[in-house]
Every structure is written in C-alpha cells, then in structure tokens.
A and B are shown apart, each in its own frame.
Chain A
C-alpha cells in the first residue's frame, strides 16, 4: 500500500533541502560578486598608482578563499525570522540617534551595546542572546549617508532581513559578515530607489 503521508513528507523535505542549498549557493555568489566589485572598483580607480598591484594580489587571494574545500559537508540552515526582525530596530534606532545629533560611529556603537546588553544578563533566554547580531547589522544600515530617508532604511532592512535569514550558515565566524549583509541590503535598496527615480 502507498503511504501517501510519508511520501508527501519525503518530497517536502527533499524540496526544502534542495531550495536551501540553492539559496545558499546563490547568496554565496552574490557576496563574492559584491566583494569582487568592491576590490575591482579600487583597482580601477587607483590604476595609475604603484600600489595597485597589492590590491590585485588581494583580489587573487579573495578569489582563492572562495574555492577552499571543507572536509565536512555543509549543513545549510536558515535563521529564525523572529531573531532577524531586530534588524529594523537597529537601523531605525541608529537613524534616530543620528537625528538627535549623535555621531555616526557613536550611534552605531550605542545600538550595538544596547543589542548586546542582553548577553550580560546571566539568566537571559537564548532568544535574547541572539539578537545582538541583527541589531548590530541594522546599525550598519543606519550608518548610510547616501539616503537618510527612513523609508529607504526600512527597504534596506527588509532586504537585509531576508539575507540574514538565508545566510546563517554562510561564511560563519568571519568578521565583517554582518556588514557585508547590510551593504548588500543597502545596495539593493539603492538600486530600487534609483530605478524609481529613473522611471
């Protein structure tokens, strides 16, 4: 006899795992492209200087780092949206602090301290211990000076939230990961803003 429930569950699991793997590699490609674009822009702008060869070498090592193989297989895992939603708090909080006259770095650092203050509480729930990262990530979005409109920040935060949820198992333990996700969110929001302006 066909066990339809078991079959449906197996198909759903396979589809979900396949979808996660695809999103994982897509996001990895996006991050690699953004980083290469950043270094490439430096090389292009400073091509007349002698030290540009250092950046070319840096570019090569960056490409090499993306092709490093791991002995253990990747386990693609998504983050919880309930944790990632604190990105909005970080971005709007930083924006508000800047509106009150605080410096950019000071506002971002203050939001980072607020977000990570829960980790100092000895009996804090594991949920509150996880919110420091999305709050800090949101603070980087709030550091943007390209557009100081809160709607722009909300849009960028939305993009970053999606990337944060998908990118849990991506470049884990590498410093600057949060900033990278924030940067991509801001770039995407700027692309949307620029497209509407052009239309």
Chain B
C-alpha cells in the first residue's frame, strides 16, 4: 500500500514538475525530462544500500512521469490533466503486464496511453455536459 502510494506520488510530482518547468520557462521538454530523471536516479543510487526493489523502481517511475509531463501546452491546456495522467501512469506501471517486461519504450507507451486517455476523457465529458445542457434548455422553453 505504502509502496503504491510512493510510486503514485513520484509519478505525479515528476509529471507536474516537468510540465511546469518546460511551459513556464520555455525549455526543451527533452532537457527537462532527462535532467529530472538523472537527478532522481542519482539520488536513488546514493540512498540505496542493498538493492531494494522499490528504490530500483523509483527512477523508472520518475522517468515515465516526466514523459507524461513532456506534453505540449497546445495539447494539454493546464497542469491538472497532467497530474491525473501521472496518476493513471502510476496505475499502469504498478500493474504492468509481464508480457512486455524488458522492452524499451514501454514506459513511453504507458505515458502516451495515460495522456491520450485523459484527453479523451476530457472531451467525452465535455460533450456529455453540452448535450445535457442543450436538453435542459429545450425542456425549459415549453
């Protein structure tokens, strides 16, 4: 439970931090992502003593979180969908399939799925809200 919570926090914070830095200061998203991932992995290497599984997984989680945060402002307008996508990414990471274990790019694929799912969810909910509002307007006009 605590491990899952830590993974979720790391993914969400990495995603939010990456998005904030590259949109606020207009830096290259690759640079920001690589810098954050390198800092976290250096920290985890200095902290880890005997090869804890959780400490070994944290750099991967932060790297994947930074991929979520690399989304452009044109596609994701504010930071809140990024934070939700970071949370979704952590779920995908925790329950990742053993079929794709060791494949390079799986983190990026999970991040892409998270971002697309959250943007898809936003648009579906927006359309649902508009349809409900239109129906209410029609009923009130009688």
B83 within 8 A of A: no
Q: Give the dominant DSSP class at B's interface.
A: helix
**Assembly CA distance A103 to B56 (angstroms):** 10
Question: Which A residues, 1 to 54, have Cβ-Cβ distances below 8 Å to chain B?
Answer: 34-35, 38-39, 41-42, 44-46, 49, 51, 54
Task: Give the nearest-CB partner of B70 in chain A.
Answer: A175
Q: Quote the shortest CB–CB distance from A19 to chain B (angstroms).
A: 26
17 contacts between A and B (CB under 8 A): A38-B110, A65-B120, A104-B59, A105-B62, A109-B38, A112-B33, A113-B34, A116-B30, A119-B27, A143-B104, A144-B103, A175-B67, A176-B109, A179-B105, A182-B105, A183-B104, A190-B103
Chain B residues packing against A (C-beta within 8 Å): 27-31, 33-35, 37-38, 40-42, 45, 59-60, 62-63, 67-72, 74-76, 85, 88, 91-92, 95-100, 102-121, 123-124
Residues A61 and B124 in contact, CB atoms below 8 Å apart: yes
**Assembly CA distance A147 to B85 (angstroms):** 30
Write out the residue numbers on chain B whose beta carbons fall within 8 Å of the beta carbon of A110.
34, 38
With A41-B97, A105-B37, A119-B31 in contact, do A179 and B72 touch (Cβ < 8 Å)?
no
Cβ-neighbour of A173 out of B59, B74, B99 (below 8 A): B74
Given A106-B41, A173-B71; 12 other pairs, CB 8 A cutoff:
A35-B116, A39-B113, A45-B97, A51-B95, A61-B117, A64-B124, A112-B34, A116-B30, A171-B112, A180-B112, A182-B108, A183-B106
Chain A residues packing against B (C-beta within 8 Å): 34-35, 38-39, 41-42, 44-46, 49, 51, 54-55, 58, 61-66, 68, 103-106, 108-113, 115-117, 119-120, 129, 132-133, 135-136, 140-146, 156, 171-187, 190
Cβ-neighbour of B117 out of A65, A113, A116, A187 (below 8 A): A65
Residues A175 and B115 in contact, CB atoms below 8 Å apart: yes
**Assembly CA distance A112 to B35 (angstroms):** 8
Q: Quote the shortest CB–CB distance from B17 to chain A (angstroms).
A: 13
Tell which of A58, A63, A66, A176 has the most Cβ of chain B within 10 Å: A176
With A105-B63, A136-B34 in contact, do A144 and B104 touch (Cβ < 8 Å)?
yes
Q: Quote the shortest CB–CB distance from B77 to chain A (angstroms).
A: 11
Write out the residue numbers on chain B whose beta carbons fall within 8 Å of the beta carbon of A109.
34-35, 37-38, 41, 63
Q: Quote the shortest CB–CB distance from A171 to chain B (angstroms).
A: 7
Task: Give the nearest-CB partner of A134 in chain B.
Answer: B30
Write out the residue numbers on chain B whose beta carbons fall within 8 Å of the beta carbon of A63.
120
Write out the residue numbers on chain A whose beta carbons fall within 8 Å of the beta carbon of B111.
175-176, 179
Residues A62 and B107 in contact, CB atoms below 8 Å apart: no
Residues B108 and A186 in contact, CB atoms below 8 Å apart: no
With A34-B109, A103-B59, A144-B103 in contact, do A61 and B67 touch (Cβ < 8 Å)?
no
**Assembly CA distance A112 to B66 (angstroms):** 12
Residues B68 and A175 in contact, CB atoms below 8 Å apart: yes
